[in-house]
Amino acid sequence: MPLNWKTGGLLLGLVFFAAVLLVKPIGVSTQFVILDGIVADVVNPDLVTKTEDGYTSTNAYLAKSNGKYAKSISNPLNYSFVFVLAMAVGGFLSVVARGGLDRAERTMPALWRANFGDSPVKRYAVAFLGGFVVLYGARLAGGCTSGHMMSGMMQTSLSGYIFAAGAFAAAIPVSLMLFKKEA
């Protein structure tokens, strides 16, 4: 049974509040850079090195912030990386709990079917492409929607409000262009 949007919004707000109160603001896009670095470090063991002052990397991006990213690559089991892994596991468990991918394909939203047909492969490809574009933009902006908009607005950061306005200013016209047919 899907959550009512009000209940879901309230629960999401409480999770973000608890995260900020207990650990730190939520932001996940940097952890994809860390994952890339972990893979690259396996291929090139000299990518990250431990120094007297901490960690550094032959890659300037990974060495910035006094080696913070390089340290995360050497010690990936930190709060943020485990949080990203838990999101993926949680998404998988949600699909399984709701009846698996077969059920997800049968319950494809009518609005999607009306505009793009009922091909699950097309839907997954578009979701992957959209996720890639959003992640690319997030790294270009130095953070993601959870960091800039959700955590940023919760902390009354002006940049969070500007990011949210820009996200909606782009999302609304794109949605109107993509979903012309009504369900």
Q: What is the 3-state secondary structure (H, E, C) of 114-131?
A: HHHCCCHHHHHHHHHHHH
Q: What is the largest CA-CA distance in the chain?
A: 62
Rounded mean pLDDT of the chain?
Answer: 86
- Do 84 and 106 lie in one domain? The reply is no
pLDDT for 104 equals 61
Q: Which helix (H) or strand (E) holds 176?
A: helix 158-178
Q: 93, 92, 87, 123: which is closest to 107 by C-alpha?
A: 123
- Do 106 and 58 lie in one domain? The reply is no
**Sequence-separated contacts (24+) of 137-146 with Cβ below 8 Å:** 138/29, 139/29, 139/32, 139/33, 143/27, 143/29, 143/30, 144/27, 144/28, 144/29, 146/26, 146/27, 146/28
Q: pLDDT tens across 47-105, in order?
A: 999 998 899 999 998 888 888 899 999 988 888 888 888 988 998 998 888 887 777 66
Residue 44's pLDDT band, with cuts at 50, 70 and 90, is very high
Tokens coding 63: 């060495």
pLDDT for 183 equals 66
Tokens coding 170: 């782009």
- Do 134 and 86 lie in one domain? The reply is no
Domain boundaries, position 70: 28-97
- On whether residue 13 sits in a domain, the answer given is no
Q: What is the pTM of this model?
A: 0.70
Tally of CB atoms within 10 A around 70? 28
- On whether residue 2 sits in a domain, the answer given is no
Tokens coding 111: 């609005």
User: Which of 62, 97, 132 is the C-terminal boundary of a domain?
Assistant: 97
Residue 41's pLDDT band, with cuts at 50, 70 and 90, is very high
